[in-house]
Structure 1
Amino acid sequence: MNAEALVEVVLPGTVEPEGLQIRHGAVPAPGPGQVLVRMEATGVSFAEQQMRRGRYYDQPPFPFVPGYDLVGTVLATGDGVGRDLAGARVAALLKVGGWASHVLVDAADVVEVPPGIGAAEAETLVVNGITAWQMLHRKARVRAGQTVVVHGANGGVGSVLVQLAHAAGVRVIGTASARHHDALRERGVTPVDYRGDDVAARIRALAPAGVAAVFDHIGGRGIVDSWRLLAPGGTLVSYGSASTRDDEGSKQWPVLKLLGRVWLWNALPNRRRAYFFNVWAGRALAKDRFRARLRADLTEVFAAARRGDVTAQIAARLPLDRAAEALRLAESGTVVGKVVLTP
């Protein structure tokens, strides 16, 4: 371990991707309850796109190391950690810190990756898989034979949502730009071009009686259309505010508006439900329960991958020192799946 060196990517402020900085240092030693993980794969999620603009609603102050999740091998364990973890390939949900060659993680927060799943493949299923699984099965509680709408069906979360929905016997209508429609059709998705006129009307034509669930990462004014697409008993799951990524002003305000709408809709006498999904919900108040749920759900996602129900969607693999290029590619809107960073 001493022969290795720490390499990490630093986000110094609200900069263009090329403003990311590479920092070198000594590999840290794990403290009590921690493990030292040598990163094998980390990813570029939408959160990092917001963070570099200062738009992620609870990001830390600059400068910091981004990186929402990672997969890697445990190099060392701290006091109080079972030695059986040493040498294990694990996944971890971090929010920040993953864009580094070596990362300290609480041992209670890592989940072992089963044999047969590569590091990059597993990485695409950590935050995206947990988010998709929990929205589909814990919030919307979908059932076979139902129809759902997935906005951004070609994206990181969207592509996993589509596959998990099909595994559950659910029909999917997915919005995406026209260049992604053939790929979506191959996955059994009925595509709708989100850039066309009156997207909601075209979805209603495909599902006149309404849909069982809508998964909306866009937010903004379009969230009202998503709510109106629901059939009686349907569920809207809002999980982001992508439409406000390039806005100025308060980064909390778009989320607060979404929360306000969700509260109002649920307070009205109707047979529909709305949620604002946050993968970190409950951690502060019930950390052990949060960890148990995360472990259970990520285990289900990995099992789905081993069965072939979910195939990793890797848009590109780039080395850590090309993080700026990776972030620029992820922001281009031209890729399907997730951009992965490797050592």
Structure 2
Amino acid sequence: MNATTSTTRATEVVLPGVVEPEGLQVRVRDLPAPGEGQVVLRMEATGVSFAEQQMRLGKYYDQPAFPFVPGYDLVGTVVAVGEGVDRGLKLHRFAVVTKVGAWASHLVVEAADLVPVPDGVDAAAAETVVVNGVTAWQMMYRTAKVKRGDTIVVLGANGGVGSTLVQLARHAGIKVIGTASARHHDAVRELGATPVDYRDPQLYAKIRELAPEGVDAVFDHVGGAGLKESWKLLRRGGTLVNYGTASTKDEPGNAMLPVLLLFARLALWNYLPNGKGAGFYNFWAGKRFRLTTFRARLRDDLTQVLRLVAAGVLTPQIAARIPLSQAASALALAESRTVLGKVVIVPEP
């Protein structure tokens, strides 16, 4: 198989340091030809996740040194292949998780990380469920292991992960109580959850009224002081799944200290003799030591989620589609916490 040797002109959005969203920079450069086992993807859709919001503040665990190109995941079309890669991949669409680098018109990725996107699924729709969908799927089925007839609580049911969790649970016959601001209650109800206002001082009391015997799982991306209340919502045999520390995102000081304290608290709760479980979901768990297993699990889980999108079971929640050159506006909108679903970045018109 012949590799592609020509270079590709790429437009990239650069995070130069700890800046406000308007401090993002746009650059154009020549990408090198893909190496062995690599491909060049032309971006069709990427997006703004909570990770980029943390990276902007220099508070995401293990983020690269500034400056770098953010972008956690994308959907794109293969336009060039390196040695050892099937040329039949060219002009086909794939999803890939990058952690960084996806806010670009073109980028080089490992062919082994590509996951096919079903024909007929819109690129932006598929983008909304790449990391969000895998996260929701794995937390439900690999971590909490919830089942039909269970009751769960989803904090931030209007968000990217939260809205996917609600729909997956509804499809599986699971009752959902979802927190969101009052303006999103109708949308959350339409997704299949019973909404509760997250600003209500009696939030947890209201949830207990809806589930007086406790719930089977709580999915909490907020952390902070409210985590204890999430733990107290569980019935015996229930599981608390924490997957973020949104409450400490804007706090000054060491970014890792709140995370370390969180890990310690979850570990302590997990070992209490009360039949409850607690843990922190880590999307990247096992990648460093079991790369082949990590890739296979990611491919399997994302394929399941994309099939549900293709079948109409999952309705991706797209908050907005914003061109790559306006990534600063996309980031600011996502950070405003006023939207339902995920802000998607698309190529220039």
Matched residue type, 1:125: V
Question: How far apart in 1 are the matches of 2:61 and 2:31?
Answer: 30
> Does 2:304 correspond to 1:300?
yes
Q: In structure 2, how many angstroms separate the alpha carbons of the residues matched to 1:160 and 1:188? A: 11
Paired position in structure 1 for 2:284 = 280
Distance of 2:157 and 2:272 partners within structure 1: 30
Residue number among 148, 153, 156 corresponding to 1:149 in the alignment: 153
Q: Which residue of structure 2 aligns with residue 40 of structure 1? A: 44
| Distance in 1, Cα, partners of 2:146 & 2:118 | 26
Query: Which of residues 302, 309, 312 in structure 1 aligns to 2:313?
Result: 309
Q: 2:212 aligns with which of 186, 208, 212?
A: 208
- Structure 1 residue aligned with 2:252: 248
Matched, 1:328 2:328: no
Cα-to-partner distance string for 1:240-270 (whole Å, 9 max, x where unaligned): 0000010111111121111111111122112
Residue 257, structure 1, aligned to residue 278, structure 2: no
2:33 aligned partner = 29
Which one of the candidate residues 124, 129, 132 is aligned to 1:128?
Answer: 132
SS at match of 1:39: strand
- Could you tell me how far apart the structure 2 residues matched to 1:109 and 1:303 are? 18
Q: Is the 8 A contact 1:42 1:98 kept in 2?
A: yes
Q: Letter of the aligned partner of 2:249 in structure 1?
A: R
The one-letter code matched in structure 2 to 1:27 is: L
Given the two structures, how large is their TM-score scaled by the length of structure 1?
0.98
1:159-198 matched pairs, under 5 angstroms: 159-198=163-202
Contact persistence 1:37–1:105 (CA under 8 A) = yes
CA distance in 2, matches of 1:95, 1:274: 25
**1:2-55: per-residue Cα shift (whole Å, max 9, x none)?**
685210000000000000000111133111111110101000001111111111
Q: Report SS of the residue matched to 1:269.
A: coil
Instruction: Compute the displacement of 1:330 (Å).
Output: 0.6
Taking the aligned partners of 2:116 and 2:92, their CA distance within structure 1 comes to 7
Cα deviation, 1:76-120, whole Å, max 9, x if unaligned, reads 111111222222100001110000011111111110101110111
2:227 aligns with: 223
Alignment-derived partner of residue 13 in structure 1: 17
Contact 1:10 1:20 in 2 (8 A): yes
Which residue number in structure 1 is paired with residue 117 of structure 2? Answer: 113
Alpha-carbon contact 1:57-1:255 (below 8 Å) kept = no
d(CA) in 1 for partners of 2:210, 2:158: 19
- 1:341 lines up with 2:349 in the alignment: no
User: Residue 7 of structure 2 contacts residue 31 of structure 2 at CA under 8 Å; is this kept in 1?
Assistant: no
- What value does the CA root-mean-square deviation take over the aligned residues? 1.1
Contact 1:176 / 1:192 at 8 angstroms: preserved in 2?
yes
What are structure 2's unaligned runs of at least 5 residues? none
* Corresponding residue number in structure 2 for 1:51: 55
Does 1:82 find its partner at 2:86?
Answer: yes
Q: Which runs of 5+ in 1 are unaligned?
A: none
Tell me, what secondary structure is at the counterpart of 1:220? coil
Percent identical pairs in the alignment equals 64
Equivalents in 1 of 2:48, 2:327: separation in Å?
A: 9
| 1:259 alignment partner, SS class | helix
Aligned residue pairs total 343
Give the letter aligned to residue 267 of structure 2.
W
TM-score (norm 2): 0.96
Distance 1:28 1:322 in 2: 25
**Structure 1 residue ranges (4+ consecutive) displaced by more than 6 angstroms after TM superposition:** none
Please say if 1:269 is aligned against 2:268: no
Secondary structure of 1:182's counterpart equals: helix
